[in-house]
Amino acid sequence: MTKILLAVLFLCAGGTASASVDQEKFIDGLIARMTPQEKLGQLQQLDGEADGHARSEHYGLARGGLLGSTLNVRGSTETNKLQQAAMDSRLHIPLLFGFDVIHGYRTIFPVPLGGAASFDPGLVERAAAAAAAESRACGVRWTFSPMVDIARDPRWGRIVEGAGEDPYLGSVMAAAQVRGYQGGDYSRGSRIAACAKHWAAYGAAEAGRDYNTAEVSERTLRDVYFPPFKTAAEAGAATFMSAFADLNGTPGTANSWLIRDVLKGEWGFDGFVVSDYTSVAELINHGIAADGAGAARAAIAAGVDMEMVSRLYAGNAAALLAKGLIAPAQLDEAVRRVLRIKLRAGLFEDPFTPAGGEKDVLLKPEFLDLSRLLAERSFVLLKNERGTLPVGRTVKRILVAGALAGDKAAALGPWSGDGSASDAVSILEGLSARAAEKGIMIDYVRGAGPKADLSDDISAAASAAAGADLVIAVVGEDPSYMNGEAASRADLSLSGRQQELLRALAASGKPLAVLLMSGRPLDMNWADANAGALLQLWFPGTMAGKAAGAAVFGDVSPGGKLPVSWPRSVGQIPVYYNHKNGGRPVDPANPENRYASRYIDLPNSPLYPFGYGLTYSSFTLTGLELSRSTVTVSGKIEASALLSNKGAVRADEVVQLYVRQLSAGVTRPVRELKAFKRVTLEPGASQRVSLEVPLPALGFHGTDMKYRVEPGEFTLWLGTSSEGGLEGRFYAIP
C-alpha cells in the first residue's frame, strides 16, 4: 500500500518531482508521516568499510528508516543491496551514498592544487564530470568535493586539496567543479551531488597545523575565505560541509553565524549542511559542549543538518525535544533539506544503480586521456636554463634517479578515491617509453626517497650519473602520509636523503633536471640555484608518466602557473601575493632602508610568485589598452594587450589581470587577480588578448561590513604572473 501511496504522492508532486513547489509538497507529506526516530534517521550518516562494503548494522537501520546516508559504501552491487533495505522501510526513503571523490573516482586526475595550476577551468570541469560519471556507475550519488578552502600556508597538508591562495582562482575552480559534478541537473545520467567544504576558513589553521584554531577577521573572511564558497553556492552546490576547526571562538560545526546567518540566510542556500567526520562529537573537545547532548544541541542549533559518523543526534535529540532544548521546527527543517537534496538527486525516482555498470565506465579511454591532458596542463616549469629541458637531440643516455620515479601509488596523490596504483603509469615508465621511441637509453637508480631507507644508495646514483648525458631526478613527498588530511609539516625541506641525492647528482657535472612530485611548495632553494631545470608535477594522477614523458621530451610545453606563492623559507609563512601594503613597505628604490617591513636575513618576496610559470618558448606582452579611463562603479572595464610567441615551439601563456585600489575606506591588497585567460600560440604567432572585469567585482566589505565598490583610482596590470606586467590606471566613478 505505502509504495502505491508514495507513487501517487510522487505523481501528485508533478511526477518527476522537478517542480520545486510540488517537491516541497511532497516533502511536507513525507515529513507529516515520519516518526521522530525516522526524522533523526535522515540526519544520520554512517561510515562503510574502507573497501566499500556496508556494515551489517546498516541493513537493520536502513530497513527501520533510521539511516539517511553512508560514506564509503560503493559499488553497484553493494549500494543496491543496502538501498533495497532502505526501500523496504516503512516510508521507502532512499539512502544517499557519499564518497570522497576529490580528484577522480577510479581514473585519478591531478590533485586539485595541480588542477588549479592549469588555470584551465573548462578542463577541470570536464575532469569533475568524468569523476561523476565513474562515481554514479558505482552507486555513489554525492561527493565530498570541491574542497574550496583558501590556503596561504603550505605547512598545512590539505593545501593540496584546494585551489591555493587566491579568492578569484579559487572561485573559478569551485564553480567549475560543481558544474562538472552536478551538471544542470544532478538527478540525470552521470551526475552526482557536490559538497563545498570546509565551511569555513579551515585553511587558516594557526601554524599550518591541521585542525588548529583559526582567528580571522570578518572582513578577511568575507573578502578572502568566503568567495569560493559563495561561488560554489551560486553554482548550485547541493551541500556544504561544516569545518572541524575553532573559528574565532566558535567551531564551524557549532557556528550559527556561518551556517544560519551567512550561508542559509544571506546567501539563501537551500541545500543541506553535513558535519565533518565526528565533528559534532568533537564539540566536547572544543569545550563548546559539556556532553553529547550539548554537542547535538549546539550543532542542531547552528544548522548542521546531517551528522557524519558520530550518533549524538540519534542519541540525544528526542530528549532535547522533550526538554524543549531544540525545537521540532529545527529538526523538520533539517529533514526537509536532506529530503530536498535526495529529490533533486533523483533518488526517489531512481534509487538504484544499473548492476555491473562499472565495467563500461571505469577507466574509459577518454577519461584517461582527459587525466593525461589535465596533468600536462598542470605542470609548472619553475626553472629551465641552458636548454636543460626538453630533452635535446644530443642526449643519447638519461639517468633517472629518485624513488618517486617508480612510485605509482605516489603519482595518484592523497584522497585518491578508488584509484589503483596498478592502473597508473609511473614517471619512470612514461619517461622510458618516450625515450625508447626516440632511441634514447634510460638508466634508473633509486638513490633516495622521501623516507630514509636502507636501500638508499647515493653513491650508486652519483656514479651512474657519470655515464649519462642528462640526469633527471624525481623527488618530493610520499602522499600516503605527507599530504592531505593530518599531514602538516613544520619543515618543508626535501625529506629523507633526497637533497643529498640531488647534490651528488649535480656533482657529476651533468645537466640536472629536477621533477618535483609534491602537494605543496617545498624548500627548493638549492635546486633553484643549482639544477638546470625544475618542473613541478604536483601529483599528476593515473597518467602521470604519460604526461611527464610528453613534457620532458617536448611533445608539449609546460604552461601551468603557481596557484600559491612559493616561500623561500618556512620563516616567511604566510607569504601570499595579495597582501596589504602596510605603512612602511619596502621601497624598491631604497630596499636597504632598515625601517621598513622586511626581514634582515631574507627578501620578503617568495622564491616564485603566485601566477608564475615558464614555458619552453618565450612570450612578450605589449601594447596595453584599456577600454576606458573612467568607469562607473556599476560598469565594466576591458584590458587588452598583444601576446606574441617569440620562441620556436607552440606553447601556452596565461594572461592575468590584476587590480589595486590605491585608496579606500579600508586598506586594500597590493594586487588582486580578477581575470585570466590561458592562450595557445604557435611559434611566431601573436594575438591580442582581451580580459574584461565588471566593476562590481572590485568591491570589498567596508567598516560597516557591507560590500561596496568605492569610487577611486585603480592600477591595473596585465601580466603573466602576480609580479610585473603592463601597468595602466583608471578611475571608478559613482
Q: What is the 3-state secondary structure (H, E, C) of 250-301?
A: EEHHHCHHHHHHHHHHHCCCCCEEECCCCCCCCHHHHCCCCCHHHHHHHHHH
733 CB neighbour count, 10 Å cutoff: 12
- 291 catalytic? Reply is no
Which cell goes with 707?
A: 560590500
Convert residues 395-424 into a mask of x (bound to ligand GLC by CB under 6 A) and - (unbound): ------------------------------
Site string for ligand GLC, 141-180 (x = CB under 6 A): ---x------------------------------------
- Which cell goes with 9? 504522492
Q: Cβ 276 to ligand GLC, closest distance in Å?
A: 5
- Closest distance to ligand GLC from the beta carbon of 182 (Å): 17
CB atoms within 10 A of CB 663: 9
Tell me: does residue 74 bind ligand GLC (CB under 6 A).
no
Which amino acid, one-letter code, is at 221?
L
User: Nearest to residue 208, comparing CAs of 161, 149, 150, 156?
Assistant: 156
Q: How many residues bind ligand GLC (CB under 6 A)?
A: 7
Tell me whether residue 144 or residue 229 sits nearer to ligand GLC (CB atom): 144
CB of residue 90 to ligand GLC, shortest distance in Å: 29
The nearer residue to ligand GLC, 244 or 676, going by C-beta atoms, is 244
For residue 253, the minimal CB distance to ligand GLC (Å) is 11
Kind of pairing, strands 250-251 and 246-247? antiparallel
**Residue number with CB closer to ligand GLC (196 or 501):** 196
Judged by CB under 6 A, does residue 307 bind ligand GLC?
A: no
Tell the smallest beta-carbon distance from residue 34 to ligand GLC (Å).
Answer: 26
> Contact 654/378 with Cβ under 8 angstroms?
no
Shortest distance, position 485 Cβ to ligand GLC, whole Å: 5
Nearer to ligand GLC, 274 or 428 (CB): 274
CB of 56 to ligand GLC, least distance (A): 21
Residue 482 Cβ vs ligand GLC, minimum distance, rounded to whole Å = 17
Cα 539 to Cα 519: distance, rounded to the nearest angstrom: 7
Q: Which is nearer to ligand GLC, 71 or 123 (CB)?
A: 71
Query: Inter-axis angle of helices 167-182 and 227-234, to 10 degrees?
Result: 30
Cβ atoms 116, 171 nearer than 8 A: no
Q: How far apart are the first and last CA of the chain?
A: 65
- Measured from the CB atom, the residue of 369 and 485 that comes closer to ligand GLC is 485
Residue nearest to ligand GLC (CB): 144
Residue of 429, 375, 367 lying closest to 400 (CA atoms): 429
Strands lying side by side in the sheet with 672-681:
630-632, 726-733, 712-719, 651-661, 672-681
For cell 624513488, the residue is 403
Question: Which residue number, 67 or 657, has a Cβ lying nearer to ligand GLC?
Answer: 67
Helical ranges in 272-388 per DSSP H: 283-286, 292-302, 312-322, 328-344, 358-361, 365-378
* Residue 245 beta carbon to ligand GLC: minimum distance, rounded to whole angstroms: 10
As measured in angstroms, the least distance from the Cβ of 722 to ligand GLC is 28
**What is the rounded distance in angstroms from the CA atom of residue 300 to the CA atom of residue 307?**
9
- Whichever of 101 and 427 has its CB closer to ligand GLC, that residue is 101
CB-facing half-sphere around the CA of 77: CA atoms within 13 A: 4
Q: Which three cell numbers stand for residue 691?
A: 580580459
Decide: 341 and 239 in contact? Cβ < 8 Å. Answer: yes
Q: What's phi and psi for 234, nearest 5 deg? A: -65, -25
Contact 262, 166 (CB under 8 A): no
- From residue 180 to residue 199, what is the string marking binding to ligand GLC with x (rule CB under 6 A)? -----------------x--
Quote the least distance from Cβ 229 to ligand GLC, whole Å.
14
d(CA 410, CA 296): 39
**550 touches 556 (CB < 8 A):** yes
Among 24, 485, 625, 638, binds ligand GLC (CB under 6 A): 485
Torsions phi, psi for 653 (to 5 deg): -135, 145
The correct pick among 71, 140, 514, 657 for binding ligand GLC (CB under 6 A) is 71
Nearer to ligand GLC, 279 or 617 (CB): 279
CA–CA distance, 194 with 352 (Å, rounded to integer): 19
Element (H, E) at 230: helix 227-234
Contact code string over 261-300 relative to ligand GLC, x by CB under 6 A: ---------------xx-----------------------
* Residue 100 interacts with ligand GLC (CB under 6 A): yes or no: yes
- Cβ atoms of 182 and 137 closer than 8 Å: no
Nearer to ligand GLC, 277 or 539 (CB): 277
Given phi > 0 = left and psi -120 to 50 = alpha, else beta, which region is 712? Answer: left
| CA distances in angstroms from 311 to 71, 83, 293, listed in the order given | 14, 21, 10
From 276, 305, 456, 523, the catalytic residue: 276
Q: How far apart are CA 508 and CA 718, in angstroms?
A: 42
- Candidates 631, 645, 650, 648; CA nearest to 693 is 631
Q: Is the CB of residue 266 less than 8 Å from the CB of residue 233?
A: no
Please, which residues have CB within 8 angstroms of residue 496's CB and are 6 or more apart in sequence? 448, 449, 450, 451, 452, 453, 456
State the pairing for strand pair 707-708/700-701: antiparallel
| Residue 100 vs 457, nearer CB to ligand GLC | 100
Smaller CB distance to ligand GLC: residue 274 or 732? 274
User: Of 286 and 434, which has the nearer Cβ to ligand GLC?
Assistant: 286
| Site residues, ligand GLC (CB under 6 A) | 71, 100, 144, 197, 276-277, 485
Positions annotated as catalytic residues are: 276
